[in-house]
Amino acid sequence: MSIFDTLAQKPWLPSQEKKDNLHTGKSFEFDSSRVALICFLGSITALFSLFFVAYVGRMAYGDWRILPEPPLLWFNTAALILSSFLFQKAKNLSNRFIFQSAKYYLMAAGLFALIFIAGQIKVWNLLTSYGYFVDSNASFAFFYMLTGLHMVHMIGGLVVWTWSMTQMYKTDLSYTKLKSTIGSTAIYWHYLLVVWLILFCLLIVT
């Protein structure tokens, strides 16, 4: 039922009452943590969109300098894509409750994410060694800030990843909860990949 149909209901009418009495109380079929994740991603989307708008808005001013793109960024991007791919694999396996194999994919996904973060820090090192500091120009400031924020979100994901990994080694683990957590974290992982790709495109284009 669409939101417009819902909003058009007249709950006081006896005919509508009969229909409403059969309502189960849930708005969405999938579980609550998934709904929370979607809302959370909506909020982060607002956050990153506003940063991107600010980025484009600030670009229009005359002092904007073009940022160099160290080739390492391509390597990092590849690592993140691989990480996302492996996470998806882990998710597919855990959906079928094959946790023994899922464990290795999950571990590899986390490792590649760590490689990405290490790579990003290396990029920061490279840039500062070239003399591109955070206060040198707004374009550099944006680069450091946005990559930093992206990393903070990655680290947040890694906290959940660590929890999932420790669960894997428990004897009395709740499989359904683990499956749902891995599923949600995978979505979050893909989401952060998309954010990074947009950010990366923005850097290349400008």
Partner 1 sequence: MSDAIIPEREVEEQELYHAKSWWTEKVFSQDAKIIGIQYFCTATAIALIGLVLSWFMRIQIGFPSLAIISEGFYYQAITMHGMIMVVYFLTALFLGGFGNYLIPLMVGARDMVFPYLNMISYWTFLLACLVLVASFFTPGGPTGAGWTLYPPQAILGGTPGQESGIILMLVSLSIFIVGFTMGGLNYIVTILQARTRGMTLMRMPLAIWGIFTATVLAMFAFPALLVSAIMMILDKTLMTSFFMPALVEMGEQLSYGGGSPILFQHLFWFFGHPEVYIVALPAFGIVSDVLSVHARKNIFGYRMMVWAIVAIGALSFIVWAHHMYVSGMHPYFGFFFATTTLIIAVPTAIKVYNWVLTLWKGNISLTVPMLFCISFIITFLNGGLTGLFLGNVIVDVPLSDTYFVVAHFHMVMGIAPVQVVFAAIYHWFPLMTGRMYNETLGRLHFWFTFLGSYLIYFPMHYLGLIGVPRRYYEMGQTEALYTQSAADLNIFITLTALVTGFAQIFFFINMFWSRKYGVPAEKNPWQANSLEWRTPTMPPGHGNFGKELPVVYRWPYDFNVPGAKDDFVPQDVPNSDVELAEGFEGTEIKAEKT
Residues that bind partner 1 (CB under 8 A): 6-12, 14-15, 17-18, 20-28, 32, 35-36, 39-40, 42-44, 46-47, 50-51, 54, 57-58, 61-64, 134-135, 137-138, 141-142, 145, 149
Q: How far is the CB of 46 from partner 1 (least distance, A)?
A: 4
Residue 40 DSSP symbol: H
| Three-state secondary-structure class, residue 13 | coil
Asked if residues 185 and 161 have their Cβ atoms less than 8 Å apart, the reply is yes
Nearest residue (CB) to partner 1, 61 versus 169? 61
CA dihedral 2, 39, 165, 93 (to 10 degrees): 20
Nearest residue (CB) to partner 1, 15 versus 171? 15
Nearest residue (CB) to partner 1, 135 versus 172? 135
Q: How far is the CB of 120 from partner 1 (least distance, A)?
A: 18
Asked if residues 117 and 151 have their Cβ atoms less than 8 Å apart, the reply is yes
Token pair, residue 82, equals: 């691989």
Alpha carbon distance 144, 118 (integer Å): 14
Q: How far is the CB of 16 from partner 1 (least distance, A)?
A: 8
Nearest residue (CB) to partner 1, 101 versus 176? 176
